[in-house]
Every structure is written in C-alpha cells, then in structure tokens.
Amino acid sequence: MARDFASRLSAGLIGDGPLLAGLRALGLDEGLPAEAANLDHPEWVAAVTREFVAAGAEIICTNTAAGNRLALERWGLFDRAEEINRTGVAVARGAADSASDSGASVIVAGQIGPSGKLMGVGEIGEEELAGTFAEQAGWLVRGGAEVILLARFLDLSELLIALRACQPLKRPIIGALVFDSGADRLETAAGQPAAECAARLLAAGADVIGCDYTSPDTALTLVAILSEHGKQPVFVRSHAGMPELEAGQVVYSEDARAFGERAAALRLAGAAIVAGSSGTTPGHIHAARQKVSGV
C-alpha cells in the first residue's frame, strides 16, 4: 500500500457523496446513467465534484462506477468506455488539484463497479471479465487515480476477479460489497456473509475492505464484522437515513447533523474511510468532516 495513503488511512478519511442527484438537478436525463455526463457535460460533473471537495471530502471517486464496457453496453455506450473513463478521472483529478492549490490534499479513487453480467448462468467467462476490469483500471490509473475503488459489488466471486485483475497496476485497492440480504441484512445478494467476505478479501490481498450502499441501521455492525475478520482498514459508504416518499418524491430521513454524528460513531467503531451514498449532500459530508475531525 502506498505509504502516504496508508498513513492517511490511520488518521481517518472522509469520502464524498453520490454525484447522480446533483447531475439530475443540473439536467441529466432520467434515462441515462451518471457516467453519460462525462461525455456531454463534464462541466456538470466537475461542479458537483467540487462541491464535495469544498465540503471537506478528503478522498473523491471518479464518475465511472458503471464505466466498464460491459456495464455501458446496456446504454449503447460500449465503444465510448475509454472516453468516459479518461474524462471521469481527469475531472476528479482537476478537482483534487484545485484543492491542493488551497492547501488541502485530496486523494482520487478510480471507481470500478460490477459488470452486470452473471458468470453462474454463462453470460460471461472469468477471462473476459478480468480483462474488462483490467482495461478500465488501466485507463483510470494512467489518468492519475491514486487508489482503485472496487465498489457496489453484489457477489464476492466477481469482486475477487476484479481485485486480481487490478493488482498488477500497483495501486492500493479498496474492495467494497453491498450487504443487504439475509435475515439480518449482513449478506451479499449472492448469500455470502460479511465475515466470510472479509476473510477472503484479506487473503486475496485487498488493502481496504468495505461495505457499500449500506443501511444506517446495519453500518456499525458491518464495520465491526469487517474489522474483526478482515483485519484491514475498513471503508463504509452509507445512506443518509432510509428512503421515504414525500409528495411523490423519494427523500432520505437523516439530516446533516445526524449523519455527522453517525460518521463519528463509525470512525470510533474502526472505519478508516467514511463516505456517503444515497441521500447524502455536500452538507452531510461537511458535517461528517467536522464531527470526525474531533475523533
């Protein structure tokens, strides 16, 4: 693991929040993924990213979670994958460098999500899957990503393939799974318990082990399980409360103050990186930075 990243992990880092809501507010079509904005409106991506940096995010993600060729195929963007990734990392790198000019130091994490294909039913083979992840990671690292974030994975088997594919690039790797299944919502959609996932990611060489798109009521439990069984720094990205319907719109129940207090509790529980997912605004990230800085 890069020495600077490792030392900053030990002090704790606040991540950013989701870009999609901000991009929708700026005019991104409802039928398009966030990554499409990298092609037609990179200035929107830059504006939303800078808001999170200004709020105090110390590690920011590229707008490329669904940026591998296989994931982009469903939107007819298969042939524009390289452009999407190169623009995504350039925008994030620009936001980080601007922060550095004012004395802050912001880490850029090249974000890679699942393929959307299922090996178990023969949709894709392991070799093609690994090649796709390696290709995307190469674009991101060559563009200036200091860390690779393997995010939003629903199946440990696919995450392990992605992890192995990215390791030759010699960058710290965060491996994060979504745990929202099982009786206590502590398993992946593929039925893998958090403790097993942590141990296997540790054995495979992940530098940071994480839970993604996490419910507020399971986040603390997951951090404790991952810390115990993974014995590595823990990444947690959780929602700002639970979704509720108000006047036909989905809103999230947790205000910035409450999110900040929970971020501090997650840090005390052992989380090295605390970031926001659905419902998280720059205000939430600012509150988290303020609360965690005192921990």
pLDDT at position 45: 98
- Return the SS3 of 29: coil
pLDDT at position 119: 80
pLDDT at position 2: 65
CA 226, CA 233: separation in Å to the nearest integer? 9
One-letter amino acid identity for 64?
T
Class of domain 3-292 as given by CATH: alpha beta
pLDDT at position 250: 83
CA 68, CA 246: separation in Å to the nearest integer? 35
Q: Is the pLDDT of residue 104 over 80?
A: no
Mean pLDDT, rounded, for 244-270: 92
Q: Let me know: does 70 contact 124? Beta carbons within 8 Å.
A: yes
Mean pLDDT, rounded, for 37-42: 97
pTM of the model: 0.96
Torsion sign (Cα): 29, 32, 36, 39: negative
Question: Would you list the domain boundaries of the chain?
Answer: 3-292
114-154 pLDDT, tens per residue?
999 888 777 889 999 999 999 999 999 999 999 999 999 99
Q: Let me know: does 269 contact 231? Beta carbons within 8 Å.
A: no
Ordered DSSP codes for 108-124: EEEEE---S--TTTTSS
Q: Is the pLDDT of residue 103 over 90?
A: no
Please, what is the Cα angle at 212 between 211 and 214, to 5 degrees? 90
pLDDT at position 188: 98
200-250 pLDDT, tens per residue?
999 999 999 999 999 999 999 999 999 999 989 999 999 999 888 888 788
Q: Let me know: does 179 contact 188? Beta carbons within 8 Å.
A: yes
The conformation of residue 191, written as its DSSP 8-state character, comes to: -
Phi and psi at residue 202, to the nearest 5°: -60, -50
Q: Is the pLDDT of residue 3 over 70?
A: no
- Return the SS3 of 18: coil
Q: Is the pLDDT of residue 44 over 70?
A: yes
Average pLDDT of the chain to the nearest whole number: 95
CB-count exposure of residue 12 (10 Å: 0-12, 13-18, 19+): buried
Mean pLDDT, rounded, for 274-278: 97
CA 238, CA 218: separation in Å to the nearest integer? 9
Extract the tokens encoding 141. 């690292």
Phi and psi at residue 171, to the nearest 5°: -120, 150
* Banded model confidence at residue 28, pLDDT cuts 50, 70, 90: very high
